[in-house]
Amino acid sequence: MKYALVVFPSKKLQDLANSYRKRYDPKYALIPPHITLKAAFEASEEEAEVFRGQLKEIAKKYNPFLLKVTKVKSFEPVSNTIYFKVEPTPELEGLFADFRDRLPGGPPPYSFVPHITIGQELSKEEHADVFRQLEMVGIDHEEKVNRFHLLYQLENGIWTVYETYHLGKD
């Protein structure tokens, strides 16, 4: 089965991201707007039982934190992906490192850049046009994050929540 770990932002921020995603992201219907902490990886149900316990331990290590989204950026020239830039925090970076080091799936192909994708798989021309427009719009958003989610992928490609982990020592 395929799993992933994400933070879902507030409904307000998801609605804003989706206002762009429904036009510029072909994966719009497969998963809500999110910050990927561990990209899709394969694991058996037995392996999942083991790492679910590890996820509970990891969640206790980190307190809730302030999520700041500050601007529209792009991964060009690596890819024609446009995103809301999420300011790195020690908590986000720590969660990413713990998931990378303790869970199946090997190291990610890129360094960790916390973000919320709003457009991807765009042609070069469409990317340039859309990015210019969105860059001028800008974004300045803050909210508190107190949980992350283990997702799994259904046969139709849609991602759904398997389990939610609350940050802190509750």
Q: Stretch 2-16: mean pLDDT, rounded? A: 96
State the average pLDDT for the chain: 94
Active site residue: 34, 127, 141, 166, which one?
A: 34
166 is catalytic: no
C-alpha 55/C-alpha 166 separation (Å) is 10
Return the pLDDT at 135. Answer: 86
pTM for the whole thing? 0.93
Active site residue: 115, 127, 141, 166, which one?
A: 115
149 is catalytic: no
Q: Which phi-psi region, left, alpha or beta, contains residue 157 (left: φ > 0; alpha: ψ -120 to 50)? A: left
